A and B are shown apart, each in its own frame.
Chain A
Amino acid sequence: MTEIQFKHVTKIFGRKVEAVKDLSFIIEDGEYVSLIGPSGCGKTTTLRLLAGTVLPTRGKIFFDNREVENLPIQERNLGFVFQHFAIFPHMNVWENIAYGPTVKGKKKSEIEELVEHSLSSVQMKERAESFPSELSAPELQKVALARVIAAEAKILLLDEPLGALDQKIREEFQFFLRDFVKKQGLTAIHVTHDQAEALSISDKVIVLNKGQLVQMGTPDDLIFSPTNLFTSFFVGESDFIEGYVLDDSSRFSKVRVGLESINVQNAGIHKGEHVVIAIRREFFDVRKADQNNENFLTGKVISDQFLGLFRRVKVLLKNQQIIEAKIHAKSPLKFEENETVHVIIDPARTRCFEFPKEGIKKSLEM
């Protein structure tokens, strides 16, 4: 178990490609943390900085208060698990798992013990003599995990570990992986492009964009309390409504949207400010306009599309913005095209951010 700390880490490739910019975070002992973000956001570089295959241009990295940013990978006591397994093809399962302790110069009897223990930790005892070519993808990944245990690594780096598994098996393996990491008491850092995977497997998630940390928090935090526009855009699906703050005196502030106004959660916004209201699509509710509704925006239905898991109702708001509400598949209300509706907004489930100078679309470019 190791605590990991990044202090103002920057990595520049070549002359000016800033892969990671002033990155600081702390990962606690035994935590399972995922790194997510669009491709090119710096998540792989961050992992490599942890591994030591890439050295930081500036900044410090600590493992348990020990400065490690200049230590080579060999001296960091890590386990590395890759998307494509990296199980040595010319060694059988037993030899692969024994690799770590062997090159660390352990006694033979000790090696045997470690390998036995590691094999049973992934329930692969009966495959000890098999060669990698005879194993399935999940089995290979289990061997990779066992190899880490045998090497007595405390930090587990996972680079898209489920990327090469079939969709159906992937979910099952997620549970196995998390369970395994917790049982073995490892500190795990998991890079993935799949946000659903990150949200369901981790204790905390770090969202990166353009080399910078955007938000770090529990899956709940990211879904229910995004602290910025990018997180609310990247995690799940949200719509963004432009407005101006009319009143900031109470817990819920009044924001003018077009010619209407709605109450939103007040989190440090001020009267007169140009803001953007972020709302997850499943938090919208769409009602018939002839009912007594509160806190809504008026619009016209563009489409009411059935999708199995839920329905998507697209509404053109009066301010010409289009929003899309995700509604329970069984919701009894059906909407006609061009029907005038009320889009109900629950103030408690809104997030309000300063309107980006460069415009919403530009600021969210991935």
Chain B
Amino acid sequence: MFKTDKENIELFFRKTRLKIETFLSRNSVLLIGKIITISIFILIIIGPIFYLLLQIFLHWGEIYSKVFNDPILGNEAFLMMLRSIGLSLKVAGIVTFFDLIVGIPIAWVLARYNFKGKKILDTLVDMPMAVPTSALGFSIYLFWGTNNGISRLLNSNVGLVSQGTLLIILTHIAFTFPYVTRSIKGIIADLDINIEKAAKTLGAPPFTIARMISLPMVKESLLAGTVLAFTRSLGETGATLIVSGVYQTAPVVIVSWMKGLKIPTTAFLSLILIIISLLLLTAVRLFARKVGLPWNKVFPRFERKISSKKVARTRDSLSITLFFIFVFIPALFVVIYLFQWWNKSPFSGDHEAGMIYQVFQAPDKKIDSIVHAFVTSVEVALIVTIVNLVIATPMALLISKTKNDKLKGLLDTLIDIPLIIPSSALGFSIFFLWGSNGLHLLSPGFMMIIVSHISFTYAYCVRPLVGAFDAIPTMYDEAAFAFGSSRLTAFRTVTMPFLKSGLIAVSIMTFTRSMSETGATIIVQGVERTIPVLLVDFFEASTFPAAAFAASLLILISFLSLLLLRYVSKER
């Protein structure tokens, strides 16, 4: 009796659920779902940018007078824009060049060779991507630009590299080169090695094979990685604020103008940066397939020579050495610094210059603001992660499953926009749309931080999920359908279990990204503070040991996330 009851209840719930799912799987309902998905995407991601464009167009007169024809400054604002953009482009160009030189061989080494410590090196290479750029910039500044790091080894009293272009370049290389490495590492590992064997039997030495066979096969990803590295350098704010000194890059100018509430000029500069990034993205999308790695010509003797094991080994070890000297050690130097300055200055022995005093004992009670910022950061990151999973999963499904190639291509490109436009410009456009100049729904502060973070982490969510959906063979769906599953039932019972680890990985990524963002946050934060921004504040107040404390905290968090991510993806 009892058993039948239980059975009936189970049956009732199951049937109800199946009915609801069948209803929701109807084409008309699914269409509504698709429309909502795309609407959210437009509202949060694309909307701000178009609004910015629209406003500049509508208020061109005002902007023109502020930018080109200011009664006091004349066209000084415009000249400053040009200078800053010029600097940004120069830096990004040089940085990308070095990224390629170091990034490609490291990717090759990681993909192809087996050696002790490979996994560790693999994790270390990803580190600079996970570590918040402001912490990274601060650490690199400490290493190269103060008398604590390299100068100490060289017994010098002043920093080796002062704030400025060179330091910006060093910093940017550190966090952009992993984009190059990562973009091709996986693909190189997946390349069918037998194709290279075929080339070998046809008489091609290893270097020729890499140049003519292997690299062309990773061309698109390499190009995508290169553009990402370039745009990241172009748009980076957090670290650049710290290492630039008086040499202001465009995103830094945006931040400083925003602080001075020069809305029209900020809007104009943001737009220019966005346009440059979009042009790059479009160019890559359009021409990636057509761009060929040039010269089919072969220089047998030369190529044979540089294919020799000796040359290859030298190249590989050199790139790994460069990685350690220019990226890894400077990036983590802040931790050493923290211990040097734990409770006193290592130079004067002054207790009040030490971290303990500054953070815990000084009258301004920095620990309170750190705790507060930490809580804010975590809250923001958690909300952003959850919201993004909810809105990104349908979008990923839509992109993966749509049979309309044009829609697919369009969405696929649009998704990348937040990835490549400078975060400070993105932050500004969100401020512009949602704030008092636009919809007037939000004012700078907690909510606006959340909206801006959702916006730039969206792509980080959608991209891998599209990959995860694509990787599930369609036969599972078809099998489920054949047995009478509605689309939603099949999604719940068959697709979701495949996605589990993908979703976890995406969550960790999103969380980490949100925790470490600086550029957009500074623009939209109002009176709120997140840890990376607080770090910049501490830096600007010259309380380095306190900044080092915040930086180390951030590094610790991202390191743990990274480990977690590795663990999850290994499970898969």
Do any beta carbons of A and B sit within 8 angstroms of each other in the complex? yes
* B489 CB within 8 Å of chain A: yes
Residue among A77, A86, A107, A109 with the most chain B CB within 10 A?
Answer: A86
Complex Cα distance, B483 from A100, in Å, reads 5
CB contact under 8 A between A88 and B483, given known A103-B489, A107-B11, A108-B7: no
Q: Please indicate the chain B residues that have their CB under 8 angstroms from the CB of A103 in the complex.
A: 18, 480, 483-485, 489, 493
B494 at interface by CB-CB < 8 Å: yes
Q: Is A74 an interface residue (CB 8 A)?
A: yes
Taking a contact as CB atoms closer than 8 A, the residue among A73, A74, A76, A86 that contacts B475 in the complex is: A86
Residues of A within 8 A of B479 (CB): 80, 82, 86, 88, 147
Known contacts A86-B473, A105-B18; is-contact A79 B485 (Cβ 8 Å): no
A101 CB → nearest B CB, Å:
8
Tell me the B1-32 residues at the A interface (CB within 8 Å). Answer: 7, 10-11, 14-15, 18
| Contact call A90/B497, Cβ cutoff below 8 A | yes
Residue B482 at the chain A interface, CB threshold 8 Å: yes
Question: A88 to chain B: which residues have CB within 8 Å?
Answer: 476, 479-480, 493-494, 497
Indicate if A99 sits at the interface (CB-CB under 8 A).
yes
Residues 453-507 (chain B) with a chain A CB within 8 angstroms = 473, 475-476, 478-486, 489, 493-494, 497-498
A168 within 8 Å of B (CB atoms)? no
Residues of A within 8 A of B485 (CB): 74, 103
Question: How many B residues touch A, CB cutoff 8 Å?
Answer: 23
The answer to whether A105 and B483 touch across the interface, beta carbons within 8 angstroms, is no
By the criterion CB–CB under 8 Å, are A104 and B11 in contact?
no
B483 / chain A contacts, CB cutoff of 8 Å: 79, 99-100, 103-104, 147, 151, 153
Least distance between B493 CB and chain A CB atoms (Å)? 7
Inter-chain contacts of A53 with B (CB < 8 A): 478, 481
| CA distance in complex: A105, B484 (Å) | 10
Inter-chain CA distance A305–B26, complex, in Å, is: 64
Question: Do residues A51 and B482 form an inter-chain contact, with CB atoms below 8 A?
Answer: yes
What's the least CB distance linking B7 to chain A, in Å? 5
Cα of A75 to Cα of B14 in the assembled complex, Å: 19
Q: Contact between A153 and B18 (Cβ–Cβ < 8 Å)? A: no
> How far does the alpha carbon of A90 sit from the alpha carbon of B481 in the complex, in Å?
17
Q: Is A117 an interface residue (CB 8 A)?
A: no
B4 to chain A: closest residue by CB: A109
Q: Inside 8 A of B497's CB, which chain A residues have their CB?
A: 88-90
Min CB distance B62 to A, Å, is: 51
Q: Mark B201-217, 1 if CB is under 8 A from A, else 0.
A: 00000000000000000
Which of B479, B480, B494 is the most central at the interface, judged by chain A CB atoms within 10 Å of its CB? B479
Closest residue of chain B to A151 (Cβ to Cβ) is B483
Alpha-carbon separation in the docked complex, A147 to B480 (Å): 11
Most A Cβ at <10 Å: residue of B473, B483, B494: B483
- Contact A80 B18, beta carbon cutoff 8 Å: no
Nearest to B27 among chain A residues (CB) is: A72
Q: Which of A79, A90, A153 has the most CB of B within 10 A?
A: A90
Contacts A86-B478, A99-B493, A109-B7 given; indicate if A74 touches B486 (C-beta within 8 A). yes
Q: A107-B7, A109-B7 are in contact. Are A84 and B475 (CB under 8 A)?
A: yes
Q: Give the residues in chain A near B480, CB-CB below 8 Å.
A: 88, 99, 103
A86 neighbours in B (Cβ, 8 Å): 473, 475-476, 478-479
Partner of B484, one of A84, A100, A107, A108: A100
Contact B493 A73 (CB under 8 A): no
State whether the Cβ of A78 lies closer than 8 Å to any Cβ in chain B: yes
- What CA separation (Å) do A72 and B22 show in the bound complex? 13
Query: How far is A104 from B481 in the complex, measured between Cα atoms in Å?
Result: 11
- B497-528 CB mask vs A (1 if < 8 Å, else 0) is 11000000000000000000000000000000
Tell me if A215 is interfacial: C-beta within 8 Å of chain B: no
A73 proximity list for chain B (CB < 8 A): 478, 481-482
CA distance A100 to B486 in the complex (A): 12
Closest to B494 in A: A88
A86 to B11, CA, bound (A): 27
B11 near A105 with CB under 8 A, answer yes
The answer to whether A79 and B493 have CB atoms under 8 Å apart is: no
> Do A151 and B484 touch across chains, with their CB atoms under 8 A apart?
yes
Nearest-CB residue, chain B, relative to A73? B481
User: Quick check: is A174 within 8 A (CB to CB) of the other chain?
Assistant: no
Contact with A79, one of B476, B482, B486, B498 (Cβ below 8 angstroms): B482
Residues of chain A within 8 A of B10, CB atoms compared: 108
Q: How far is the CB of B2 from chain A (nearest CB, A)?
A: 14
The answer to whether B482 and A80 have CB atoms under 8 Å apart is yes
Set of chain A residues within 8 Å of B482, measured between Cβ atoms: 51, 73-74, 76, 78-80, 151, 153, 157
The answer to whether A102 has its CB under 8 Å from any CB of chain B is: yes
A88 to B476, CA, bound (A): 7
Judging by beta carbons under 8 Å apart, are B11 and A80 in contact? Answer: no
Quote the shortest CB–CB distance from A291 to chain B (angstroms): 52
In the bound assembly, the distance between CA atoms of A199 and B315 in angstroms comes to 60
Query: Taking CB as reference atom, which chain A residue is nearest B22?
Result: A74
List of A residues within 8 angstroms of B14 by Cβ: 102, 105
Q: Which residues of A contact B481 (CB under 8 A)?
A: 53, 72-74
Whether B478 pairs with A80 at a CB distance below 8 angstroms is: yes
Find chain A residues with CB under 8 A from B18 CB.
103, 105
B475 and A51 within 8 A (CB): no
Which chain B residue shows the least CB distance to A48?
B478
In Å, the complex CA distance between A175 and B75 comes to: 87
Contact A84 B473 (CB under 8 A): yes
Closest to B496 in A: A90
Considering residues B480, B481, B485, which has the most beta carbons from chain A within 10 angstroms of its beta carbon? B481
Q: How far is the CA of A147 from the CA of B475 in the complex (A)?
A: 14
Task: Choose one: B11, B478, B489, B493; the contact of A51 (CB below 8 Å).
Answer: B478
* Residue of A102, A103, A109 with highest tally of chain B CB at under 10 A: A103
Instruction: Name the A residues within 8 Å of B7 (CB-CB).
Output: 107-109
Contacts of A99 in B (CB 8 A): 480, 483, 493
Q: A79-B482, A82-B475 are in contact. List 18 more A-B contacts (CB 8 A).
A: A51-B478, A51-B482, A72-B481, A74-B481, A74-B486, A79-B483, A80-B479, A80-B482, A82-B479, A84-B475, A86-B476, A86-B479, A88-B480, A90-B497, A102-B14, A104-B483, A151-B482, A151-B484
3 interchain residue pairs of minimum CB distance: A100-B483, A90-B497, A86-B475
Please name 22 pairs of A and B residues whose Cβ atoms are closer than 8 Å in the assembled complex, sorted by A.
A51-B478, A51-B482, A53-B481, A73-B482, A74-B485, A76-B482, A82-B475, A82-B479, A86-B476, A86-B478, A88-B476, A88-B494, A100-B483, A100-B484, A102-B14, A103-B480, A103-B489, A104-B483, A105-B11, A107-B7, A151-B482, A153-B482
